[in-house]
Amino acid sequence: MAKKGLIESQAENASNVLSTAPWRRESSFKIAPSSAKQGDKTFRFPKEEQLKRLHHCPSLGIAINKCNYDAANYLVQSISANHQIANWGQTVLSTLLDSISHMVTRKEANYGSPSLEICKQDAVARILGEHPLFCLPFQPVNCRNYVGWGLRSGQHARQMALRHNAPALLLEDGFLRSFNRLDPPLGIAIDDLGIYYDAHAPSRLEKLIPTRLTAEQEERICAILQQWRQLRLSKYNAGSEYSGPLPDNYVLVVDQVHNDASIRFGMADSAAFQLMLDAACKENPDSVVVVKMHPDIFTKSKSGHFDVRQLQQRQNIMVIAENCLPSRLIENANRIYTVTSQIGFEALIWQKPVRCFGMPFYAGWGLTEDHLQAPERRTKVDFLQLAMAALIFYPRYIDWRIGQACEIERAIDYLAELKQKA
């Protein structure tokens, strides 16, 4: 009952705010509790179980802005996303009411985003210094910056930024992301030009990679790379490494999940995976080809690009179809074959030869053997420059022990603690 009372109280407050809005029309609606009768010309917040499903819906902001109560009611009732987060409904209500308040007062926000998910994320707030305001096209809200996640909500953020003549910032998980896969991110990349996995256009990471390093910077990145190998770090760090027997002489072929955005934006497609496998077999006739399946196949029930049963029937191919950390597989391989997987970057950290069949952020700099022609924007650099840009210049980090922004060294220390306790 307490939760219901709070929700109704927030709805009543929102109704009072909307009733005084300068853009209020004759047909504008009131916000009523979920118990309102059907047919009432009011905006009815959903019931408690529906609140838990409330998620990103661009049309909702438009409906609220245009005072279309029928559309708003329908949208809120039909939004669905499977989230199991404590107080999710209260967070969403607070975010929406904050957006309404800015529409009414015409107050400028530092950051705005068309993604409700971004607006409620504590990690984003720690990196930016505040939660972005939830706002959508055609809302009378001005923001100094518009924020999106990758090229999903990022496209909407770019359109809004263009409309308001403001910068657009695209966020994405850092290359040292977290311990468990579902943990809040330790590292978030911020890009004001593009996004690192889109090889068709410039990104801030591309601009940072050719930076000439000072002696102190080289010393710093060398120490971080040494820690990476000693602690056997990866993008995700929970779990154990592959414990089964490995061939004495093998090359590693890395699978990825279907519809991974980095494949398409990395100038590749599904056919590139078969091409990669064929090349690995042909170029290494005296070696075993070890195929590593992607962990999301196990943790998120996604599909990869290879049929495990068919691979297991082929001579000289070994399939690792279990969820495991990649360090041991990389460390003992003669060569790594990838399309756009981050494992290719991690293989460079382990000082292994890497053959790319797409154009990931680490390809095209003279550090990998590339099947595709690199964009002219990319020139030869050394690996310390690439690593410094990817791990230090480009992302921002959070120390979740104190909930504050930090340098990568503290993020690594935090992961080391978690790995030791696991």
pLDDT tier for residue 321 given thresholds of 50, 70 and 90: confident
Amino acid sitting at position 322: E
**Cβ(345)–Cβ(368) under 8 Å?**
no
- What pLDDT score was predicted for residue 189? 97
The CA distance from 201 to 361, in Å, is: 11
Mean pLDDT (the chain) is: 81
Lowest-pLDDT range of 276-280, 293-297, 345-349: 293-297
- Answer for the pair 221, 207: CB distance below 8 angstroms, yes or no: no
- In this structure, the number of other CB atoms found within 10 A of the CB of residue 153 comes to 22
Per DSSP, which regions of 309-373 are E strands?
317-320, 336-338, 354-356, 369-370
Tokens of 188: 């978030």
Percent of the chain predicted with pLDDT > 70: 73
Residue 56 has pLDDT above 90, yes or no: no
Give residues with Cβ within 8 angstroms of 171, minimum separation 6. 118, 124, 127, 147, 148, 149, 150, 188, 189, 190, 191
Which residues, including other chains, have CB under 8 Å from residue 367's CB and lie 6 or more apart?
348, 354, 381, 382, 383, 386
pLDDT at 285: 96
> CA 27 to CA 43: how far, in whole Å?
12
Confidence label for 20 from pLDDT (cuts 50, 70 and 90): very low
| Highest-confidence segment of 142-151, 157-166, 221-230 | 221-230
Provide CB contacts within 8 A for 34, sequence distance 6+.
4, 7, 8, 44, 45, 46, 47, 48, 50
Mean pLDDT over residues 223-252, rounded?
97
pLDDT value of residue 15: 41
DSSP conformation class of 147: E
What distance separates the 2 farthest-apart alpha carbons in the chain?
A: 79
Tokens 């981050």 -> residue? 342
Question: Using CA of residue 231, residue 236, residue 242, residue 243, what is the dihedral sign?
Answer: positive
Rg (CA), the chain: 24
Q: Which residue has the higher pLDDT, 301 or 271?
A: 271
What is the per-residue pLDDT for 32?
A: 36
